[in-house]
Structure 1
Amino acid sequence: MTDPIRTLVVDDDFRVAGLHRDIVAERPGFLALEPARSVAEARAAIRTLRPDLLLVDVYLPDGDGIDLVRAAGCDAFVISAAGDAPTLRRALRAGALACLLKPFEPRMLAERLERYARFRNLLAGTGAVAQEDLDRALAILNGSSDPVSLSRSATEKLILDALGADESSASEVAERAGISRATAQRHLAALAARSVVEVRLRYGSTGRPEHRYTLASR
């Protein structure tokens, strides 16, 4: 089982911090840590709790959130009301993977967390990474599920690798492969038409059948 993505919110406004913590807690695959209210609290939490991802406000009572991101040694989003170009450039130079400008709809943070989880999944492990895999991961992080450079044959290979020996739904394959569900479903249907994969129907409690895919027997 994959370890949850340990996420630390750093914001001195307890209402905002609680809201962002709750958004994280609602996302499958994430673990929301108790928010930090200052740079000092955040540094202590980073040392002891070892978060994978920080959600950091720029203006904190005892220091600068962007400096914290630069020194943190882990992935981070900068979340702030500071929307001027110099601040945003500084955040990106410090290593922020994303910048969200307050105020924003909760779904925006939820969507970026989902993209980050897929990005992280594609770059998991310690082995070498192919250029197309890196391009795909960065495209997902920045809001595109399917980079133009990914060919049909490369997509099918990615899907077959993600399918493996297990029976899976299109959504499960898409999550493992780091592509959109629609793309996974389209290619799985094409692979099924060529008898590369087999399709079975599984009926759940709602009565609606779910398509389950497996590699075809040779």
Structure 2
Amino acid sequence: MHSWEVFIVEDDIRIAEINRRFVEKIEGFSVCGVALTEEEAKEQIAILQPDLVLLDIYFPDMNGLDLLRWMRSEFRGVEVIMVTAATEVNTLKHALDDGIFDYIVKPVIFQRFKDALLHFSEYKKSIHQLSADKEVNQNVIDSIIKREKSEVIPQSLPKGIDPITLDKVLTMLSNHKKGFTADDLGQLIGASRTTARRYLEYLVSEQKVRADITYGGVGRPERIYQYGV
């Protein structure tokens, strides 16, 4: 089996180690290096030329978006997944404009991380299979460039609903068919129960999520939110 080489650019050595362990839990991927600074990142990327870079945005000595632009100008074949705490809409737009493959918000949920890397692997294999063909049809093109997102986030959202957090909530719900209470979801995304419930109730109003009443161990009713209606 082909092993995709992953390079991690992260200034927090503890998070870098978590990302390394996540990568090595996924079959077909290995970590070829880790950089904590801009100088280390540029030097090692130039030497190693990995298949995929996991890139943070906030660094003491640089902005990850600047490194992304440098990679795009020097090594266009290297794919990039942002792994960051940055949730500003403009940051996301700049990253998308510069051709990132995916954008994962910290704290990282392993299943979301795994889905991103497996999607990357499928995409690269599809491209490789086309190397002997001179032409493609529309169906082949659509199958290659289609993203496996469960939903498209609307452009206009009500106050208090952040698009990146909303996408994270949708991803978690779609990957866990049994659903969550607002308490459970809040703990998983690092938010309060009130915040989690706000996002869940918004999705219920948009008919993307349903809320069912169940009874806990002491007989009190709870709302269980599940993907789909």
TM-score of the pair, normalised by structure 2? 0.58
Tell me the residue number matched to 2:120: 116
Distance in 1 between residues matched to 2:136 and 2:46, nearest whole Å = 29
Which residue identity lines up with residue 12 of structure 1 in the other structure? D
Which residue identity lines up with residue 20 of structure 2 in the other structure? R
Which structure 1 residue ranges, 5 or more long, are not aligned?
A: 145-218
Distance in 2 between residues matched to 1:131 and 1:71, nearest whole Å = 32
Deviates more, 1:113-122 or 1:66-75: 66-75
- Post-superposition offset of 1:34: 2.4
How many residues matched? Answer: 142
- Post-superposition offset of 1:19: 0.7
Distance 1:129 1:64, change over 3 A: farther
Tell me the residue number matched to 1:56: 55
Distance in 2 between residues matched to 1:20 and 1:54, nearest whole Å = 11
Tell me the residue number matched to 2:148: 142
Which structure 2 residue ranges, 5 or more long, are not aligned?
A: 151-229
Written as runs of structure 1 = structure 2, the 5 A alignment for 1:52-131 is 52-72=51-71, 73=75, 74-124=78-128, 126=131, 127=133, 128-131=135-138
TM-score of the pair, normalised by structure 1? 0.61
2:38 aligned with 1:39, yes or no?
yes
Distance in 2 between residues matched to 1:92 and 1:78, nearest whole Å = 10
Q: CA RMSD in A?
A: 1.6
Which residue identity lines up with residue 65 of structure 2 in the other structure? I
Contact 1:21 1:33 (8 Å CA) reproduced: no
The list of structure 1 runs, each at least 4 consecutive aligned residues, that deviate by more than 4 angstroms after superposition, is: none
Tell me the residue number matched to 2:165: none
Distance in 2 between residues matched to 1:134 and 1:71, nearest whole Å = 28
| 2:34 match: secondary structure | coil
Percent identical among aligned pairs is: 29
Match 1:133 to one of 130, 140, 163: 140
